[in-house]
Amino acid sequence: MVTSGTSPSALPRITWLGHSTVVLDIGGARILTDPLLQRHNGPLRRRWPRPSMAAWENPDAVLISHLHYDHAELSSLRQVPRVPILTAPENAEWLRRKGLPGVELKDAADWFTVPGTEARVRLVRADHGHRPMPHRPNAANGHLIQAPGLTVWAAGDTSLYDDMAYLPDWAEGRLDVALVPIGGWGPRLSGGHMDADQAAQACARSGARVAIPVHWGTLHAPVVGRYPRGWMDAGGPLFVEALARHAPDCTALVLRPGESAEIPS
């Protein structure tokens, strides 16, 4: 059973703040992914209100999937207390040069235990090499977040790849929750992304029992009139339909920005 709402609970809790920003309250830790905490993201406009500080304050660790501006916003990272920012080695070094506490993890089962908690984190593969940036490293990764009785896969930005079937092995057991990207900030996706159908296939390959779509319906370019009507709302329903086809045993949990869900172990 999966429940959603906003009341406090001892159960593991996941809150989507829009785009790829997620708060994980698991294993006594609060973990924040790819934080975008400003009203807008550079030229991109946020459709929903700015995330409430109460929803993300006092994290114990931050996860960065890659350094594209819609995932690693320096002004947002500087709002967060100085806690470990867990990411690929090249990205961690770049963050340290910016005065931020980047902590490098390696792919080979390098688990990082969040201090004072029962939660641990490691990197996993993400295929996101399109549109390289000239002034930031271009390493990309996903994360596995594990606490007693629960494992979460935060996919980051990635295309579909066969080795997603090994995620339960990398997690040393069952994969409980997949945070999968299903869109972008425009109706057309460049390489290195998944649409709703591909994200559902990713859930099938990984064997996740619950899937929460992210990276959709939040940001858009300043001019939206040239885009198809309703494109920002289409991703969630399309993902639910695709998941029913590709992974009928996986429960789709479509959240609105700011909404939380409890995930029983």
Q: What is the pLDDT of residues 179-202, one digit of tens each?
A: 999 998 888 888 889 999 999 999
Residue 9 pLDDT level (bands cut at 50, 70, 90):
low
Residue pair 72/34 in contact (Cβ under 8 Å)? The answer is yes
Residue pair 175/151 in contact (Cβ under 8 Å)? The answer is yes
pLDDT at res. 2: 54
Two structure tokens written together for 250: 């996986």
The Cα-based distances of 10 to 13, 16, 26, 261, 262 in angstroms read: 8, 18, 9, 12, 9
**Domain extent for 23:** 3-256
Q: Looking at residue 248, what DSSP letter applies?
A: T
pLDDT at res. 1: 40
Report, as an integer, the average pLDDT of 79-85. Answer: 97
Residues 6+ apart with CB under 8 A from 119: 24, 26, 27, 28, 29, 31, 60, 61, 113, 145, 146, 147
Q: What is the CA radius of gyration of the chain?
A: 17
Domain for residue 243, yes or no?
A: yes
Domain for residue 150, yes or no?
A: yes
Residue 22 pLDDT level (bands cut at 50, 70, 90):
very high
State yes or no: pLDDT of 265 exceeds 80.
no
Report, as an integer, the average pLDDT of 224-240. Answer: 86
Q: Tell me the pTM.
A: 0.93
Residue 134 pLDDT level (bands cut at 50, 70, 90):
confident
Read off φ and ψ for residue 219, nearest 5 degrees. -105, 150
Q: Which residues pair with 18 in a beta bridge?
A: none
Lowest mean pLDDT segment, chosen from 3-12, 25-34, 62-71, 129-138: 3-12
Per-residue pLDDT tens digits for 51-72: 999 999 999 999 999 999 999 9
Residue pair 139/66 in contact (Cβ under 8 Å)? The answer is yes
Residue 27 pLDDT level (bands cut at 50, 70, 90):
very high
Residue 224 pLDDT level (bands cut at 50, 70, 90):
low
Domain for residue 261, yes or no?
A: no
Lowest mean pLDDT segment, chosen from 120-129, 167-176, 222-231: 222-231
Domain for residue 152, yes or no?
A: yes
Residue pair 20/65 in contact (Cβ under 8 Å)? The answer is yes
Domain for residue 70, yes or no?
A: yes
Domain for residue 265, yes or no?
A: no
Number of domains in the chain: 1
Report, as an integer, the average pLDDT of 137-146. Answer: 96
Read off φ and ψ for residue 233, nearest 5 degrees. -95, -10
How far is 60 from 31, CA to CA, in rounded Å?
6
pLDDT at res. 6: 40
Domain for residue 262, yes or no?
A: no
User: Exposure of 217 by Cβ count < 10 A (0-12 exposed, 13-18 middle, 19+ buried)?
Assistant: buried
Mean pLDDT of the chain: 92
Interaxial angle between packed helices 196-206 and 231-246, expressed in degrees from 0 to 180 and rounded to the nearest 10: 30
Report, as an integer, the average pLDDT of 150-166. Answer: 96
Helix or strand run (H / E) with residue 200: helix 196-206
Domain for residue 250, yes or no?
A: yes
